[in-house]
Chain A
Amino acid sequence: MTANWQGNGGLVAATVLGLALLLALPQIVDPVMMIELTSYVIMAILALSLGLIWGYGGILCFGQSAFFGIGAYAYAIAVINFGDSTIPLLLSIVVPGLFAALLGYFLFYARITDVYFGVITLTVTLILYKVMGATSGSQYVIGVAPLGGYNGIPAVPPLNLPGRPDAALSFDGLFYLSGLMLLAVYVGLRLMLKSRFGQVVVAIRENERRAELLGYDARFYKLVTFAIGGAIAGLAGCLFANWGMFISPDVFGLAQSAQVIIWVIVGGTGTLLGPIVGCFAIQWVATKLGAQQLLNANLVLGTILIGFVLLVPKGVVPTVSDALRRLKFRPYVATLVEQRRVP
């Protein structure tokens, strides 16, 4: 009972802290940094989606940017056609979710091992990159939206109030919306992981065969987790298309897929805070690197990835919290462990 209360207390505290940051940051940060910060927040949603399926679902997806990109393209194409952004927003979540479900059906139900799964999802992303890049002719049009090949789709209309295309979202508005979405996804995932469904998902990660012997169809649970992750990534893609008012096949590129992985592994798998922290930290480093010409960004990101895999394989957040526990809160943790032992 006590442990449960503490868990909810932590969740409430996180929500309050998140809302406070959301309201305070625009007041204290300068406008240029706000633009950067908005993209960090959007990417953090993408990082969370991978944090869910990799860290909790145990699914090694190397192509999370595929769903991100599909969401962005779905939004851009639909909003150019419809004018109003309500249905396009929904499509940007549903289409990648369905795509993930379809892909997941073929892969999970074939019981492909996780390593192969990583390779195939990566391949799907790279193929999408090529396909979207090859759509530069005037014959490649969906409705009235030209796909534009490697040049992408420029001038993507922003989100608006439902049913009122003239009431478009301002740039500050996008920050608040993205922040709220990040918070909502975070809280939603926390609650989902506490639910019966989430417990089964984690059980499958821990020991798939045992979970199956207890009567849970691991393939189905993985499929649903994967689809949820795809849908969340699609939402991030929609916000990203709003942020840049532009979308190009680069979202499917190798660099983008690698970035998501790096955020999650640096932050720490098996936590939800980790991917957010990793995303903000790495994006900040990448921004700083982009401002100078001395070191190539790929070079640094690659070195970070190798370094973390070899030296800090658990990621920052779990390592730090483990260290803190060992140093300071030993009695506290001891009581927690005691409580857990009670059947």
Chain B
Amino acid sequence: MDLLVVLSFEALKAVASLALISVGLAIIFGMMRVINLAHGEFLMLGGYAAIVATKAGINIWVATLLVSPLVVGVIGMVIERTIIRFLYGRPRDTMLATWGLSLLLVGLATTIFGNTTEGISAPAGSLQIGDYRIAAYSLIIIVIAVVVFAAIWAVFRFTRYGLIARSTMQNADMAAALGVNPSRVYAVTFGVGAGLAGLAGGVMAPITGIVPTIGAAYVAKAFITVIGGGPAILAGTVSASVMFGAIDQIITYLSTPVIGEVALLAAAVVLLRFMPQGITGRFFRRAA
């Protein structure tokens, strides 16, 4: 019984992490149709922002939950203004340019921080469940994921920015005719997506540690989740995270973490064979 609780808790944590690392990508792709191959590097930058801030004496919660998203969000906006905006409507070129960006950021981080793993210790103890002990930080990740998704939903559903952003993505010309400045909306939306990636990077940093090349470890999973999820940004990310996170955890428990990741990928390829539009392309079409 205790084992079952621990296992479902671990599965929940895997789902929450998957959802967290994917949501920034899902927003940038879902709203703007920009495939951002530098997503993993945004996570990496978020991790470094958290580590540098913590080492500078800033409280670790402020560092991971505030400094990381702000820093990466600003970087994201700068990148949108300097590179991405010239490539709207050219998905292939966008992918190539963001891949170049990914290499560039890895190179930059290696130059600045060196090719060594940096880390901060997880800021919470452990919880006792029967005979088992689990890291309390896992619980915090789950809570953060829930709060982040609720906040995104609320922002896009209820705020003025959310309304303007959604309308601009539907019909930029019409929005412009009504007095919206589309390029500003694009920049802010890209910044929001980048900031969420930064947040995820900061939150994951105490668990994984950070190296300049850590983005490669995230980017594959994040893309599989977003593509598997399909067109609805939030519902898609959540449903794909639940499915892939559960598969990953169950197979990992039965064999090894690597086989778990292979199973995740194989499940995604087979899923796309039968549902090319992703989960929300087939089910819950009306979800947001």
Contacts and interface: CB of A to CB of B under 8 A. Distances in A.
Contacts of A255: 103
Interface stretch (A37-45, A93-101, A105-113): A105-113
A134 B227 CA distance: 26
B35 A119 contact: yes
Nearest to B256: A134
B53 interface: no
A228 interface: no
B258 A131 contact: yes
Given A297-B107, A302-B106, A313-B93, A106 B99 contact: no
Interface string B208-233: 00000100100110011001000000
B21 to A, nearest CB: 14
Contacts of A127: 220, 261-262, 265
A123 B95 contact: no
B272 A309 contact: no
Given A123-B223, A309-B97, A130 B103 contact: no
A301 B258 CA distance: 30
Interface in B39-55: none
A254 to B, nearest CB: 5
Contacts, number: 128
B154 interface: no
A35 to B, nearest CB: 26
Contact of B100 (A122, A297, A304): A304
A339 B110 CA distance: 55
A285 to B, nearest CB: 14
Interface string B108-128: 101100000000000000000
A105 to B, nearest CB: 8
B60 to A, nearest CB: 29
Contact of A306 (B97, B108, B216, B270): B97
A115 B95 contact: yes
Contacts of A298: 103-104, 106-107, 110
A126 B97 contact: no
A303 B270 CA distance: 36
Interface string B54-70: 00000000000000000
A106 B35 contact: no
Contact of B258 (A114, A134, A295): A134
B197 interface: no
A306 B265 contact: no
A111 B93 CA distance: 21
Contact of B87 (A107, A116, A299, A309): A309
Contacts of B97: 305-306, 309-310
| Interface size classification for chain B | 35 or more
A130 B261 contact: yes
Given A109-B273, A115-B95, A305-B103, A310 B265 contact: no
Interface string A272-307: 000000000000000000000001111111111111
A300 B104 CA distance: 7
A126 B220 CA distance: 7
A336 B261 CA distance: 54
Contacts of A109: 273
B100 A115 contact: no
A118 interface: yes
Contacts of B100: 262, 301-307, 309
A60 interface: yes
B276 A118 contact: no
Given A134-B256, A299-B104, A313-B93, A126 B216 contact: yes
The interface centre, meaning the residue of B87, B108, B265 with most chain A CB atoms within 10 A of its CB, is B265
A302 B102 contact: yes
Interface residues of A, number: 47
Interface string B149-174: 00000000000000000000000000
A302 B92 CA distance: 16
B175 interface: no
A111 B100 CA distance: 27
A90 B109 CA distance: 42
A258 B103 contact: yes
B220 A299 contact: no
Given A110-B273, A134-B256, A254 B227 contact: no
B272 A254 contact: no
Nearest to B35: A115
B273 A120 contact: no
Nearest to A128: B262
Contacts of B136: none
A120 B223 CA distance: 8
B201 to A, nearest CB: 17
Nearest to B115: A296
A296 B99 contact: no
B101 to A, nearest CB: 6
Given A134-B258, A310-B83, A120 B272 contact: yes
Nearest to A259: B103
A298 B104 CA distance: 6
8 contacts: A118-B35, A120-B268, A122-B37, A123-B223, A255-B103, A295-B107, A301-B103, A310-B86
Interface of A: 60, 62, 103, 106-107, 109-112, 114-116, 118-120, 122-124, 126-127, 130-131, 133-134, 253-255, 258, 261-262, 265, 295-307, 309-310, 313
Interface of B: 35, 37, 83, 86-87, 91-93, 95-97, 99-108, 110-111, 213, 216, 219-220, 223-224, 227, 256, 258, 261-262, 265, 268-270, 272-274, 276
**Ranked 4 nearest A-B pairs via Cβ:** A299-B107, A305-B100, A302-B104, A302-B103
